[in-house]
Structure 1
Amino acid sequence: MSLPISFRAAAASFSLALALGACQSNSKPEAADGAGSAAAGAGAAALSDGTWRGVLTAQGQEIPFLFDVAQTGGKPTVTLRNGEERLTLDEITTAGDSTTIRLGVFDAALVVRADGADKLKGAWVKYDAKEPYRVTFRATKGAEPLFPVMADRKILSFDGTWKVTFKGDDGETYPAVGVFKQDGQNITGTFLTSTGDYRYLAGQVDGNELKLSTFDGSHGFLFTGKNPNETDTNATSISGHFYSGKSGHETWTAVKDPNAKLPDANSLTGMKPGQKKLDFKFPSIYEGGSISPADPKYKGKVVIIQILGSWCPNCMDETNFLAPWYEKNKSRGVEIIGLGYERTPDQTLASQKLLKMKQRMNVGYDLAVAGIADKDAAAKSLPQLQSVLAFPTTIFLDKKGEVRKIHTGFSGPGTGKYYQEEIADFNKTVDMLLKE
């Protein structure tokens, strides 16, 4: 993703402005709605062990997700569950009866308090949004389906690959590929777009309708869809809605198509005419340092440039691949430079966000602060490029420092075979450049 809502609408849900703006400096945890002055520790005690069903309420919709609470060393740990994905949250603090659960590498939190026995209430808060960003949150203990279903209804099959078109409220459209795997009334899958994928989705089928959701700390997504013909056994078309967080909304339509595919991610952007090399020098996340592809460290090596942001879940997926890959392959004569575009113009704050990501994700390659989280701003900071269409974008430099390939977006592990194809293409490109 970049942000997958096509980079146009994705940021509407992220920060009420597409492609993201400057970060607010109000990074202190907020109190949950109605937080009182109960004795310290009451909030943490409300997080009792077990599986919980959380619900975000926005745009008149409920976005459900499951999470597990367990005690680790006498302290609560929360694990978000999105399909096969498990995201562990261990930065949990309590003040009075209010508990703040920091959401991984993202500058966001769930701020909650007890609301009766085995219930929580509070808000999902984004601290780096351009404007105040709070979404009402409630949770109930006890494993439940994400979405209630009627057991006696006929169940259509939505299993398979779909050719999808999303349409924003502004009338603009963009293509996608939907991949769903259904087991009875349970369904998982994702949507791939040219700027990234919508990551791990899970939900239920109820008759001729499906509902899918996800919450990874930065995204809260709800997809609803319906096959128009209730007499069908296998769905052949779908129409529905896509709700993203506080304000993002699109409609979508789909037709069953096992051969559905997107434009080649290696052909969506390139270098400007006459340009062969990137010429930049950005400050390192460490005070006083700088990073440039012309530095002696990179001379004669294959260099991979990762355009990313610590706020970007698709960038998180790519970094989860690149970090261990780099440790295994750096001895072959390959380096990676991560160019961070953050939601703040403050270089110190941006460095702190990227350093937190580096530490939590065990990133061993170099990271620089390159600018603000906006695709047009990113393109201006790298004037040799035609454009920057997505976060992440991956640029491959040969041993001469010349750009040989630009890959837009990243198909993460939630896409199954498409992720495997992505990794195979990545390795093939690096192997080819190393042999030259």
Structure 2
Amino acid sequence: MSRDDQKLPVILDISKNNDGKTYTVSVLNGTEKLKMDSAYFQNDSLVIPMMMFDAKIIAKSTGDELKGTYYRYANGAIAGSLPFHAEQGENYKFFRKGEAKSTRNVSGKWATILKNPTTGDETVAVGNFTQQGTDVAGSFLTPTGDYRYLTGSVNGDSLYLSTFDGSFAMLFKAGFQPDGSLKGSQWSGVKAFKTWTAKPDPQAKLPDATKMTFLKPGFEGVDFSLADTKGKTWTLKDPRFAGKPVIIQIMGSWCPNCMDETNYLAPWYKKNKKRGVEIIGLSFERSDKPEVANPKIDRMVTRFGIDYPVVLAGTSSDASTAKALPMLNKVMSYPTTIFIDKKGKVREIHTGFNGPGTGQYYDEFVADFNTLMDKLISEK
């Protein structure tokens, strides 16, 4: 893909299915193999749907090339697009094997500031990377989530990173400064742009994710009455939750970080539900109309094998989350995870999610999560 005279490199793995008509398409982000919806030919163009993210690629096939457009949709209309061009057999992002050469190394933690040059808004982040030769992998963590699996290269005095999750094609470029810091730009999706700076800092850290969203004074618990896609209304007073620790997953089918969290929670629940623990997903969608939102929720449930209830909670606007969960100061991130003990008391609220692309941060999350859940499950 390309934007603003920049290439946002994406690696796709495409294979024909046994039916001879459809294709399996996966995005390769380093160690991640992210499966898209089944692709198909329409006339002479390959259509790659990404229905969870209201997006698709339509590209004309000419020999060993695909040329077309990546489209983002909103309310059924095109909200933005990027040119798309793919060459068969090419399996690199920025440089072919052996092309990149550099004495620079970005392994470790980086104290980072991302800035929107239009509004002046700044976001504090932590970059965490590993480097082998000139190949780089890792992610940036922010107080509300991470940038998932970033991969790329160091070449000369420059760093190149990219990722694609169906929702956003993302590019980070930066140059090394005389003091060893990095200064660069970030292109994200069809229009977002930020500048960024980073300094090596082994002690770099983010604000405490358990202190950002909290219960308003006077509240000890959470309550709601919301329907799932089959029309069943769920509350925490349902017998299914009685006397059990409950995890409330504030999520959205459109949210890549929620996808990563669900990829952890769904199998964890299947393994641990016999221990007497429950999860319920509160999905805040782009639309609060059931006929629009429920199919998206169902696709996510099917894709990740979710067998805990997921309800439509409203839209992802501040007003909607405040209406659904008035006891919270604010939902600042998707996902946000609420941990409730057997007596119905909120014990922790965790903002954001450190996905597997963050390396040690993901390992720390898994350890902390299981320590907390073991404690809540063992309590009388």
Alignment TM-score, normalising by the size of structure 1: 0.82
Name the structure 1 match of 2:345.
Answer: 402
CA shift for structure 1 position 377: 2.4
Of the structure 1 ranges 165-174 and 311-320, higher mean CA displacement relative to structure 2 is found in: 165-174
Name the structure 1 match of 2:139.
Answer: 190
Q: How big is each residue's C-alpha offset from its partner over 1:266-301, in whole Å with a ceiling of 9 and x where there is no partner?
A: 111200001011121011111x31111111211111
State the one-letter code of the partner of 1:396. Answer: F
State the one-letter code of the partner of 2:252. Answer: G
Aligned residues: 374
Q: Does 1:162 align with 2:110?
A: yes
Partner Cα distance (2:153, 2:115) in 1: 23
1:65 is paired with a residue whose SS is coil
Name the structure 2 match of 1:141.
Answer: 88
After superposition, where does 1:2-81 map in structure 2 within 5 Å?
Answer: 56-73=1-18, 74=20, 75-81=22-28
Name the structure 1 match of 2:45.
Answer: 98
1:356 is paired with a residue whose SS is helix
Name the structure 1 match of 2:313.
Answer: 370
Partner Cα distance (1:179, 1:104) in 2: 31
CA shift for structure 1 position 376: 4.3
Partner Cα distance (2:238, 2:99) in 1: 64
Partner Cα distance (2:207, 2:13) in 1: 38
Name the structure 1 match of 2:211.
Answer: 267
Quick check: 1:105–1:360 contact (8 Å CA) kept in 2?
no
State the one-letter code of the partner of 2:43. Answer: G
1:64 is paired with a residue whose SS is coil
Partner Cα distance (1:143, 1:60) in 2: 21
Name the structure 2 match of 1:45.
Answer: none
Partner Cα distance (1:178, 1:376) in 2: 32
Partner Cα distance (1:203, 1:128) in 2: 31
Q: Mark the runs of 5 or more structure 1 residues left unpaired by the alignment.
A: 1-55, 230-234
2:10 is paired with a residue whose SS is strand
Name the structure 2 match of 1:258.
Answer: 202
Name the structure 2 match of 1:383.
Answer: 326
Q: Does 1:132 align with 2:79?
A: yes
Of the structure 1 ranges 63-72 and 363-372, higher mean CA displacement relative to structure 2 is found in: 63-72
Partner Cα distance (1:358, 1:281) in 2: 20
2:220 is paired with a residue whose SS is coil
CA shift for structure 1 position 252: 0.7
Quick check: 2:100–2:134 contact (8 Å CA) kept in 1?
no
State the one-letter code of the partner of 1:127. Answer: Y
Q: Mark the runs of 5 or more structure 2 residues left unpaired by the alignment.
A: none
Q: How big is each residue's C-alpha offset from its partner over 1:290-331, in whole Å with a ceiling of 9 and x where there is no partner?
A: 111111211111110000000000000000000000001111
State the one-letter code of the partner of 2:6. Answer: Q
Name the structure 2 match of 1:107.
Answer: 54
Change (3 A) 1:428 1:101: same
Change (3 A) 1:117 1:81: same
Name the structure 2 match of 1:216.
Answer: 165
Partner Cα distance (2:149, 2:80) in 1: 23
Name the structure 2 match of 1:429.
Answer: 372
Alignment TM-score, normalising by the size of structure 2: 0.94
Partner Cα distance (1:373, 1:131) in 2: 20
Of the structure 1 ranges 124-133 and 331-340, higher mean CA displacement relative to structure 2 is found in: 124-133
State the one-letter code of the partner of 1:65. Answer: V
| Greater relative contact order, per chain length (Cα 8 Å cut-off, separation 6+) | 1
Q: How big is each residue's C-alpha offset from its partner over 1:332-369, in whole Å with a ceiling of 9 and x where there is no partner?
A: 11110100011113122111110111011100100000
Quick check: 1:376–1:387 contact (8 Å CA) kept in 2?
no
After superposition, where does 1:303-322 map in structure 2 within 5 Å?
Answer: 303-322=246-265
Of the structure 1 ranges 260-269 and 130-139, higher mean CA displacement relative to structure 2 is found in: 130-139
